[in-house]
Structure 1
């Protein structure tokens, strides 16, 4: 995630609870008082809440026993002094010393505190400050009841740092969690906020930056953080654009796309349209001879290889030499009847992407193949490939699979994970459920294949290009959903609008400033 100057955007950093705790301890050990950090953080939270909440609303605050609760009480003080009407609920018999001090001052100011949770049901909005990062154990029964009651009210809730009840790292509810409308993450992004399982709890995510100094981050995360979050800045930089003024098609990569069957000609069309949008210089498509004309009509510029077919209408064999291609993408629409051809291709040394039925044919995965390998499973395909790994923790399972297979694993989901054999892992933070449709993955396969063919030819970082392709595909889905609604995000529309969406997305992010960059 570093640029050519060795700078990194804090928006790209993801931390575990242990790492965030060590970063804070580093600050405290070098003379930054806990109370001073709390004042700074709470001041920034208060400023954001004043932007979000118009005066006149009645605000209820759920106050925890630790420093997250203390932050919430400082926020209460700041909002009260700006004329907001508040009530506090602190459902704990004990609390940390600093939390109790802020509670005492809140009483002095006259901020009402109520013992009966039901009195918060009269509020217009709730601020959840029960727990911040570090929650790793199951909640007590009385807190489970409290959270279930609050969720049952279906009121707008803004959570500070994480929705209370979520495990900081896995995103799993313990066993329940606040369903927030918005979460204000403090300092650096917490891993649990970007897990698939947490998405129904976190709402709109924002990061409240409080200027963590670079030395503290570097000491704990190292000079090359292994866990990152995809950002527009880094992804746009990774894409092969703009092109040099003088360039020819063979310098822009040659992709062989192996796809389709008599039963699934549309999958080949969608993958071809995705590859076209990537800007790849040359596109060759190998399909069963019986569907050749369908592909030609849709992608007339492609070179077509009509392949001999099995009795089921799948590719039986791939004629000709493979030396002309920079990259091979196989899988969309093949059916499992293409087994012999897939196994032959995977035994070569050429860089390859395997998706869909190519993955099913290769399952369960055994051993390392020669050459760069990218596997792009959804959850079902992942389970067939790597039945030994439990997807209850998607990130850990993907990392283990990448290490065992010595391949790059792209685990699809609401928050897609890209991880490498050496543990370098990135999560795509934004997508749309509109992409949850048959054919979306075919478009992604073609797009990635085209980008990686360019990457091989031009000596680019193939992992960074994989991440950029995932981000571009998801951003196009989001752009279409905003333009036309989620139900209009069908694969053909995504493929047709990849280029237009990228132009709009680049324009949108060009004017966004990065608060500060860390020099590693």
Structure 2
């Protein structure tokens, strides 16, 4: 795959437009299918040298055409090949029909396939273009293959997966390997698609990058430094702590101070010049016993906060970790409406009964970052979260537009979305990041980046990526304290 297309994710509709544009430019579309099918056959031989039989499943469209080409190449290589088709192969059109005619093998109906020891299934039924639940006969086939533990090599995407959302449409193959062409789709990265694809390889079949980029929407990509590094502040030899920003993290009561400290330490390690924990007077001693580089300031109520905010150097805040749910949180957020704010955990839950109250506070240039997990998202955006017709990216973007905020829709496939429609899918987080306090660390990292001047969306995306890298360094069995210790600045 061209490195210039590495981070780009194309929806199935966009990829279809790329194929059409390539053909319109004079590129031989059957030649592209020939290269695709040949790459699948080569991968099958490389990945499964001990296969006793390659079982090729051919669908009713161009994915099936790729499979017919792969079957021909495998047969010509001397491999034992059995071909099964969905529907009447005589009804194929265009390049797919040409591929079928060029394959000397006689096929059988899909329902006749019975797994045998030594089989490897090459799945060319649907690819990424499936838009509805699979039929009963396909579901039955998937169940037979799964129960027999037959290895599956998927062409483009395991059949039964939605290429845009990564959702299972009734039933789907679990592939050991997936071969796709030119670029990945969102469904390759979103769950459960990411797990069902197995090892993913992207083959360049000769479509010029300029055509791919011209047809791509360009608003969905993988979350990598290339997506936000241009927003990073330039390194300055002459600098001081205030130029690197002052981050304030609000603490909970005396028996709930640990979460704020983890956020504060993480913000400091992410590069903020100064970090202060704003705590109730009754919680000052509990915090002071554990802090050295982080400062403390007593804040009991909105009046105290209002007085402190007269210092205009205080521009960036984290509220939520261990803070407590209720009117006090809502009042503090209202006082911070003209500042940059990461709202996490208890801060989010404090607005569950009237989310619009929160959204109305943060209009204009986006300066709010929201970090909901699945349950918190459903409470803030019940209609969006409950819409089964939307994928995770669609939901995150819709929520970002409504809230005028950068949304971090957390999970194994965390999505970061901006009000302008941009979305990034994060892939670098190890599974062991799912531990108590991990979200507090993330909130602090994002706050530290906001304090240094990054826009809300870029701070959110960079923070999620740094969080994943810290998790990789900390290793399995990490605690939140160990995770915070592994945070490094950009």
**TM-score, with normalisation over the residues of structure 1?**
0.82
Q: Does the alignment pair 1:219 with 2:207?
A: no
What's the secondary structure of 1:251's corresponding residue?
A: coil
2:264 to 262, 272, 279: 272
Counterpart of 1:40? 35
Q: SS state of the match for residue 22, structure 1?
A: helix
1:239–1:465 CA contact under 8 A, matched in 2: no
Structure 1 residue corresponding to 2:332, chosen from 342, 346, 353: 342
Asked whether the 8 Å contact 1:235–1:471 carries over to 2, the reply is: no
Alignment of 1:43-58 (within 5 A): 43-54=38-49, 58=53
Counterpart secondary structure, 1:362: coil
- The answer as to whether partners of 2:248 and 2:278 remain within 8 angstroms in 1 is yes
**C-alpha deviations, 1:274-304, integer Å up to 9, x for none?**
2122021111111233443444454411111
Q: Which residue of 1 aligns with 2:437?
A: 439
Aligned twin of 1:401: 399
On the 8 A contact 2:320/2:346 being kept in 1, the answer is yes
Q: Flag the 1:299–1:112 CA change in 2: closer, same or farther, 3 A.
A: farther
State the distance in 1 between where 2:372 and 2:110 align.
Answer: 50
Q: 1:107 to 1:232 in 2, by over 3 A?
A: farther
- SS at 2:452 equivalent: helix
Is the CA contact (8 Å cut-off) linking 2:279 and 2:296 kept in structure 1? Answer: yes
Following superposition of structure 1 onto structure 2, how do residues 279-294 of structure 1 map, counting pairs within 5 Å?
279-294=271-286
Pick one of 184, 193, 203 that aligns with 1:189. 184
Count matched residues: 475
Query: 1:305 aligned to 2:297?
Result: yes
Distance 2:206 2:236 in 1: 38
Q: Per-residue deviation at 1:410?
A: 1.5
Q: Deviations over 1:481-507 (max 9, x none)?
A: xxx44xx143222222223xx89xxxx
Say whether 1:463 aligns with 2:457.
yes
Residue equivalent to 1:29 = 24
Q: Pick from 309, 320, 344: which aligns with 2:308?
A: 320
SS of 2:161's equivalent?
coil
For 2:408 and 2:143, how far apart are their aligned partners in 1? 35
CA contact (8 A) 1:410 1:416 kept: yes
2: CA distance between counterparts of 1:259 and 1:158? Answer: 51
1:148 maps to 143
Cα offset, 1:239, TM superposition: 5.2
- Label 1:403 to 1:494 Cα distance change in 2 as closer, same or farther (>3 A): same
Within-5 A mapping of 1:195-210: 195-210=190-205
Aligned-partner SS, 2:15: helix
Q: Which runs of 5+ in 2 are unaligned?
A: none
Whole-angstrom distance in 1 between the partners of 2:330 and 2:19: 55
Partner secondary structure for residue 463 of structure 2? helix
Contact 1:403 1:421 in 2 (8 A): yes
Deviates more, 1:293-302 or 1:437-446: 293-302
Once the two structures are superposed, the pairs formed by residues 19-418 of structure 1 within 5 Å of their partners are 19-54=14-49, 58-94=53-89, 95-97=91-93, 98-107=95-104, 117-221=112-216, 225-234=218-227, 243-308=235-300, 318=305, 320-321=308-309, 322-337=311-326, 338-339=328-329, 341-347=331-337, 349-363=338-352, 364-366=354-356, 367-370=359-362, 372-391=367-386, 392=388, 393=390, 394-418=392-416
Once the two structures are TM-superposed, the CA of residue 47 in structure 1 deviates from its matched residue by 4.0
* Matched-pair contact (CA < 8 Å) for 2:265–2:294: no
Q: CA separation of 1:81/1:237 partners in 2, compared to 1, >3 Å: closer, same or farther?
A: farther
TM-score where L is the length of structure 2 = 0.87
Contact 2:429 2:468 in 1 (8 A): yes
Q: CA deviation at 1:447?
A: 0.5
Structure 1: gaps (5+ residues): 1-6, 310-314, 504-520
